[in-house]
């Protein structure tokens, strides 16, 4: 059977492959899954097994045009970030890395120490980001950090996104090493410029993923784009913003809860915002998962939420794939808690100030203009009450708030394809939009 696209989501444990045709709207030909085979030294084993599952269900071989992939296998996209000031250049570089789908393993502000280099060696990141200084501002810290990292000869690609006045010297410092130079992520005071860095990080990931253990043969099957899975979800979120307007996406998984938002916020809040926020923001709550990190979430439950049951009882009801009504119920309770805590960490807050020129100051991300709240990931798309859970985060009072308003509409990624749509948008934007609309039942 002829198929236009196979899109693989290569997770740390499971590889999911979906076959699509787009000639007459969206046609999902089939979906197959298999254990990810990175630890066996060859990711294509799992890919082939997932494709075979589709073929077995159809009773015929697939003849596909293109294969794309997203991946969080091989430890994901590990990044260390090194800037000048914690609240400015470091924050900007961190936002760029997270939005590209990175896992931030280390952050430093100011000059790197010997102990920092030792820690970077232990982490063995996929990318190192150097930021620091507004354009034509402070130069020395970023140059010093570049020299220290170059001398350490770590063999890790470097992304430079600091003061533009340093570019020529940084190129000399990293001569004959893999270096990516892009626009400053913090070019002027109170201005973030994270999108160029995000695009470059994804390009660097695609170039270097083939070096990761077990991933070196991936290009034998995947002839299209390869993206970090969280970065692909962010791309899909930005695509939804282009089509629908301001949007907020929750991805609740077994190990983490990711929150993606694309919104500039209200003028009322922007006027009192203390430090700038990126239009597209991603936060990763590594302690909030409904299976691997279930104990962390259970510990957060109130007596009312546990319904008087012991924490041991609730933990025993949590399974990788809930089968009974009781298992689904308690997985749903944990999903609701993960969403509530994750939104509280993603959204900003407004503080009343006495004796200052302004009555109020705002800190963090404003979500008050969000028009759509979207649920993706297994917990929100496959368990009951996904919509109800997302409805619960909205602010129903009329006070000045940075939470989504009552009129925001809730949508569910019914086909669980946001990551697929994100990587597909790199080469077929119209097909990706069609896929998203179909899955969200728009």
pLDDT mean over 108-121: 96
pLDDT mean over 369-383: 94
Q: What angle do CA 209, 15, 156 make, to 5 degrees?
A: 15
Stated as kind and residue range, the H or E segment containing 141 is helix 140-152
Q: What angle do CA 300, 314, 375 make, to 5 degrees?
A: 65
Token match 């896992």: residue?
Answer: 103
For residues 307-339, one letter each, b for 16 or more C-beta atoms within 10 angstroms of the residue's C-beta and e for the rest, the string is eeeeeeebeebbeeebeeeebbbbbbbbbbbbb
Q: What is the per-residue pLDDT for 257? A: 92
Q: Which residues contact 8 (CB under 8 A, 6 or more apart)?
A: 15, 16, 17, 47, 50, 67, 68, 69, 70, 222
Task: Report residue 215's pLDDT band, with 50, 70 and 90 as the boundaries.
Answer: confident
Q: What is the per-residue pLDDT for 356? A: 56
Q: What is the per-residue pLDDT for 368? A: 95
* Cα 181 from chain centroid (whole Å): 22
For residue range 33-75, what is the model confidence (pLDDT) as tens digits?
A: 888 888 888 999 999 999 999 999 999 999 999 999 998 876 6
Task: Report residue 401's pLDDT band, with 50, 70 and 90 as the boundaries.
Answer: confident
With residues binned 3-state (H G I as helix, E B as strand, rest as coil), the percentages for the chain, rounded to 5, are: 40, 25, 35
Q: Cα–Cα distance between 194 and 178 in angstroms, integer?
A: 21
Q: What is the per-residue pLDDT for 355? A: 66
User: What are the structure tokens assigned to 186, written together?
Assistant: 């913090």
Q: Cα–Cα distance between 203 and 197 in angstroms, integer?
A: 10
Task: Report residue 308's pLDDT band, with 50, 70 and 90 as the boundaries.
Answer: very high
pLDDT mean over 341-360: 84
Q: What is the per-residue pLDDT for 203? A: 86
Q: Indicate whether 269 pLDDT > 70.
A: yes
User: What are the structure tokens assigned to 283, written together?
Assistant: 């936060």
Using alpha carbons, select from 1, 3, 28, 109 the residue that is nearest to residue 414: 28
pLDDT mean over 108-112: 96
Residue 31 has φ and ψ, to the nearest 5°, of: -140, 135
Cβ–Cβ under 8 Å, residues 248 and 373:
yes
Q: Could you give the count of Cα atoms lying within 13 Å of 420 in the half-sphere of its Cβ?
A: 29
Q: What angle do CA 350, 403, 371 make, to 5 degrees?
A: 140
User: What are the structure tokens assigned to 434, written together?
Assistant: 């069609």
Work out the number of other CB atoms within 10 angstroms of the CB of residue 179: 17
How many Å is the maximal CA-CA distance in the chain?
75
Instruction: Report CA dihedral (229, 230, 235, 239) to the nearest 10 degrees.
Output: 110
Q: Indicate whether 148 pLDDT > 60.
A: yes
Q: Where are the alpha helices (DSSP H) in 308-350?
A: 311-317, 325-346
End-to-end CA distance of the chain: 29
Q: Indicate whether 357 pLDDT > 70.
A: no
Q: What is the per-residue pLDDT for 119? A: 97
Q: What is the per-residue pLDDT for 262? A: 97
User: What are the structure tokens assigned to 70, written together?
Assistant: 């997203």
Residue with the bigger pLDDT between 357 and 3: it is 3
Q: Cα–Cα distance between 280 and 248 in angstroms, integer?
A: 10
């Amino acid at each position: 059977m002829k198929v236009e696209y196979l899109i693989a989501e290569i997770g740390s444990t499971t590889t999911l492959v979906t076959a699509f045709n787009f000639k007459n709207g969206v046609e999902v030909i089939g979906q197959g899954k298999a254990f990810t085979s990175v630890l066996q030294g060859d990711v294509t084993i799992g890919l082939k097994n997932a494709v075979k599952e589709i073929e077995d269900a159809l009773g015929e071989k697939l003849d596909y045009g293109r294969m794309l992939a997203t991946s969080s296998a091989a430890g994901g996209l590990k990044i260390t970030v090194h800037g000048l000031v914690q609240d400015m250049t470091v924050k900007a570089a961190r936002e760029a890395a997270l939005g590209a789908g990175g896992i931030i393993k280390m952050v430093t502000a100011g000059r790197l120490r010997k102990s920092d280099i030792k820690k970077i060696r232990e982490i063995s990141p996929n990318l190192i980001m150097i930021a620091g200084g507004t354009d034509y501002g402070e130069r020395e810290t970023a140059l010093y950090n570049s020299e220290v990292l170059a001398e350490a000869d770590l063999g890790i690609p470097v992304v430079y996104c600091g003061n533009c006045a340093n570019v020529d010297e940084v190129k000399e410092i990293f001569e004959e090493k893999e270096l990516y130079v892009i626009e400053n992520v913090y070019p002027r005071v109170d201005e973030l410029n994270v999108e160029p860095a995000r695009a470059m990080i994804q390009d660097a990931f695609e170039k270097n993923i083939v070096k990761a253990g077990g991933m070196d043969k991936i290009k034998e099957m995947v002839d299209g784009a390869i993206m970090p899975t969280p970065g692909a979800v962010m791309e899909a979120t930005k695509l939804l913003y282009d089509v629908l307007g301001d949007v907020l996406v929750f991805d609740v998984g077994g190990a983490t809860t990711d929150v993606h938002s694309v919104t500039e916020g209200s003028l009322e809040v922007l006027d009192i915002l203390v430090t700038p926020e990126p239009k597209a923001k991603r936060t990763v709550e590594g302690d909030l998962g409904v299976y691997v990190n279930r104990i962390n979430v259970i510990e957060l439950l109130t007596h009312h939420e546990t319904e008087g049951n012991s924490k041991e009882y609730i933990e025993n009801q949590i399974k990788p794939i809930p089968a009974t009504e009781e298992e689904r119920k308690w997985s749903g309770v944990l999903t609701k808690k993960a969403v509530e805590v994750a939104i509280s960490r993603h959204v900003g807050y407004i503080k009343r100030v006495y004796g200052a020129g302004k009555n109020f100051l705002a800190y963090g991300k404003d979500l008050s203009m969000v028009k759509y709240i979207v649920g993706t990931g297994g917990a929100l798309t496959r368990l009951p009450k996904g919509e109800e859970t997302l409805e619960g985060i909205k602010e129903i009072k009329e006070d000045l708030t940075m939470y989504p308003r009552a009129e925001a509409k809730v949508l569910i990624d019914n086909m669980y394809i946001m990551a697929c749509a994100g990587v597909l948008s790199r080469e077929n934007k119209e097909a990706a939009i069609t896929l998203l609309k179909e899955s969200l039942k728009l």
